[in-house]
Chains A and B, each alone.
Chain A
Amino acid sequence: MATAFKKEQKAERPARGGVVTFVEAIRQGIWEEMERDERVFVIGEDVGVYGGAFKVTDGLIDYFGPERVIDTPISEAAIVGAACGAALMGMRPVAEFQFIDFISCGFDMLTNFAAKCRYRWGAGIPAVFRGPCGAGVHAGPFHSQNVESFFMNTPGLKMVEPSNPYDAKGLIKAAIRDPDPVLFFEHKKLYRLPRLRQEIPEDDYIVEIGRARVAREGHDLSIITFGAQVLTALDAAEELEREGLDIEVIDLRTLLPLDRETILASVRKTSRALILHEAPRTGGIGGEIAGLIAEEAFEWLDAPVVRIGATDTPVPYSPPLEEYHLPQVKDVVDAARRLAAY
């Protein structure tokens, strides 16, 4: 496909691979896909000259030009709708929500247009809708939410949330190449977290959507989680190891469609399941996973399935309130001990 605009190539392109942060991995992924495929473009608020609120799209406009890095009005419905329309025309839009909390403003376009087009008339929407999610940075009720359960009940959408740079790059590239709409959640606390810095390959790679990962192998208990809570689970597992408990951690990576096989295989091995997520517990996707385990692995269970989530409140601003609201390592350790002793 011929595109109308030449690369301006003022900006230096980022390195391929190397030791990177979470945010850099996503940026590399988008950059490489834009280089590889002229149909890929970025659209969102302040994604151009400013480079996005978290600098995920930093430098893209200088390299690819304003026609492929489109700044929009504050109009999430227009961003989602325009991405859908462009995707119908064969383009591969990557739409950014400045904070994933604002996805609610594009909810109708996502759930009623994007999610249903293929089903209704065979028109796939190969678009990515990405943005920073998650709490723990004292950003209050409107810049901290986790929205996966808003969309869990909408067949037609895919949902992805990586927990480390390798997966983030591989999954964003897979999402851009996917023929269906993908919601891509990036926990903002991970963007520049030093402990996550990681060497990733120079060569092109993807991480397949729909596949969970065993983040840590163990035999006594499965913690099923995703996103930033993978770190909480791993920290808890380390602490529990000192007590002689061998914890398995499943990093879901894809939330819709769920990787049922990996979840069930783990639970059938350990016979104990603890589901951990950062969104409020009631109506969170933990319930869906617990239901799956109850139906499909009941006979393997030695203990009730336990869910840990945030309290059923909005995300509060003040640090002590927010800490109370969010699941902590201590909560996971306590619950795991009780589960193991059951």
Chain B
Amino acid sequence: MTNKRGSRGKSTRANGKKRTSNRTETARTAEVVDAATVALDEAGTGEIAQRGGNGASATSVAMQTTAGRDSVHLVEIVEGVQAPAIDEGLICSLETGLTREQMLELYYYLKLTRLVEERLVNLYRQNKVIGGVYRSLGQEATAVGTCYALEPGDFIAPLIRDLGAVLTKGIRPRAIFAQYMAKAWGPSEGRDLNIHFGDMERGFIGPISHLGDMIPVMTGVLLAARMQQKKIVAIAYIGDGGMSTGAFHEGLNFAAVQRLPLIVVAEHNCYAYSTPTHKQTAVKNLADKAAGYGIPGYIVDGNDIIACYETTKRAVDFARSGGGAVLIEAKTYRRKGHAEHDDQRYVPREELELWEKRDPVDRYERHLTSQGIATREELDQITARIKQELEEEVAWAESSPLPEPERAAYNVYDNSIVPPAFRPKVLER
């Protein structure tokens, strides 16, 4: 087995625990960039394989070793877009602390996310969805796997493509359907779209469309938690596009300065609307940016749900024990356009075909069945259960009325102090 190791290897420093032996048996879920290892080592939580760029036009990052095989799949990253690699037969990371029950629960959330979105597309085509539908097809494992590493009291701030994280946090699909259909029974009562709502009880801070803004907000959530002596951590999701904003920088810098337990999951899905990553940033890996904040940075295969979980779990433990903020780059791919209306004409066909082969749901199913964790029948049963559940959830959402028009006037302020903003009567006395 061979890993391409970059010439930057010399800056990999004295990582005493750097793994050199028998990588196939100890497939690591995470890679970490230089600054990261330093911080982790200093915190005594090292033991993370590390690899830098090789300085050539293409950076080689070993995304994942296939379990128990004598081969290592390499993903060539050229100008931000992954080049072909052998993907048939790819399974997930073998090294995991997850129990069988947890792995099946993980499958439930992964498949739930896929099926909720498919159902949303159906509703969209029936003109029942008022706004757009934003798919996370092909990147669901990132949202679900990372969020699954959190405890119930922890917080998330998702992006539009993190439905999986929202569902994993315990939000019921009916809320999502009602939101998309602009119904009165949705959590925002028709005032905002899709996953633009929050649930403080479940640790879900409602995001806004302005990318990057949730990083400072989550910093404040954690500052408050520290004052309240709550040992919680939080994940703020961001993408290759959102990392270009000023708010991202200000928020992460502040979180790093304050050593707050903030885990920023950078979902590198290769496109921000139509703009490819190489037009967003000049760094090779989004995780390289961690060095600029003096925090650890990890790279993980975002389509390997076990790896996403394990990497985040480690980051969560590190953060919760006082290590401070962590940046995780999950390399994945957005297989649909920005929203359903977007025909992705800016994407080469071969690229889509390649990533279809890396589908995270197929891959996890292959993993579970080939490793004897679950049978095909058991997975089918879970799927059937989800489908039945979704029938009920959609029916509930469809049975909701649209909001009463006048409800638009309420809740701008606390209405016990400031009255609702009704449409004023003109020249009526």
Contact = CB atoms under 8 A, between A and B. Distances in A.
- A is bound by B: yes
Interface string B209-221: 1100111111111
Given A75-B250, A116-B208, A83 B220 contact: yes
Interface in B208-261: 208-210, 213-229, 246-247, 250-251, 253-254, 257-258
B302 interface: no
A108 B247 contact: yes
Given A73-B253, A81-B247, A295-B426, A86 B224 contact: yes
B208 A112 contact: yes
A68 interface: yes
B229 A3 contact: yes
A63 to B, nearest CB: 16
Interface in A131-177: 155-156, 158
Interface in A97-130: 108-109, 112-113, 116-124
Interface residues of B, number: 48
A108 B217 CA distance: 12
Interface string A207-231: 0001000000000000000000000
Interface centre among B206, B413, B417 (most CB of A within 10 A): B413
B264 to A, nearest CB: 14
B414 interface: yes
Contact of A85 (B205, B210, B246, B413): B205
B198 interface: yes
Interface in A56-90: 67-68, 70, 72-73, 75-90
Nearest to B230: A89
Contact of B226 (A67, A108, A119): A67
Contacts of B188: 120-121
Given A81-B216, A108-B247, A120 B196 contact: yes
B298 interface: no
A2 interface: yes
A85 B218 contact: yes
A68 B226 CA distance: 11
Contacts of B206: 117, 120-121, 123
B200 interface: yes
Contacts of A86: 220-221, 223-224, 227
Contact of B418 (A67, A68, A73, A257): A257
A112 to B, nearest CB: 5
B191 A119 contact: yes
Contacts, number: 164
B43 interface: no
B197 interface: yes
B85 interface: no
A108 to B, nearest CB: 6
A1 interface: yes
Contacts of B427: 295
A180 interface: yes
A17 interface: no
Given A84-B217, A112-B213, A4 B414 contact: no
Given A2-B228, A83-B220, A179 B417 contact: yes
A178 B213 CA distance: 24
Given A85-B218, A120-B192, A180-B414, A78 B251 contact: yes
Contact of B413 (A73, A108, A123, A156): A156
A295 B412 CA distance: 24
B225 A89 contact: yes
B208 A89 contact: no
A120 B186 CA distance: 11
B164 interface: no
A2 B198 CA distance: 25
Nearest to B253: A73
Interface centre among B205, B227, B426 (most CB of A within 10 A): B227
B399 interface: no
Contacts of B411: 118-119, 122
B187 interface: yes
B219 A89 contact: no
Contacts of B191: 119-121
Interface centre among B222, B223, B225 (most CB of A within 10 A): B223
Contacts of B339: none
B421 interface: yes
Interface in A297-329: none
Contacts of B250: 73, 75-78, 81
Given A155-B421, A180-B413, A77 B228 contact: no
Interface in B172-209: 187-188, 191-192, 196-200, 205-206, 208-209
Contacts of A123: 198, 200, 206
Interface centre among A2, A82, A122 (most CB of B within 10 A): A82
B213 A81 contact: yes
Given A124-B414, A295-B426, A113 B223 contact: no
Interface centre among A79, A85, A155, A179 (most CB of B within 10 A): A85
A118 B197 contact: no
Interface centre among B188, B250, B417 (most CB of A within 10 A): B250
Contacts of A80: 216
Contacts of B417: 178-180, 210
Interface centre among A67, A119, A121 (most CB of B within 10 A): A121
B411 to A, nearest CB: 5
A105 to B, nearest CB: 8
Contacts of B414: 118, 124, 179-180
A47 to B, nearest CB: 14
B197 A75 contact: no
Contacts of B247: 77-78, 81, 108-109
Contacts of A2: 228-229
A78 B246 CA distance: 10
B254 A73 contact: yes
A227 to B, nearest CB: 22
B227 A68 contact: yes
10 contacts: A67-B227, A81-B214, A81-B217, A85-B222, A87-B224, A89-B220, A91-B227, A120-B197, A257-B418, A295-B427
Closest 4 CB pairs of A and B: A81-B216, A85-B220, A82-B220, A89-B224
Interface of A: 1-5, 41, 43, 67-68, 70, 72-73, 75-91, 93, 108-109, 112-113, 116-124, 155-156, 158, 178-180, 210, 257, 295
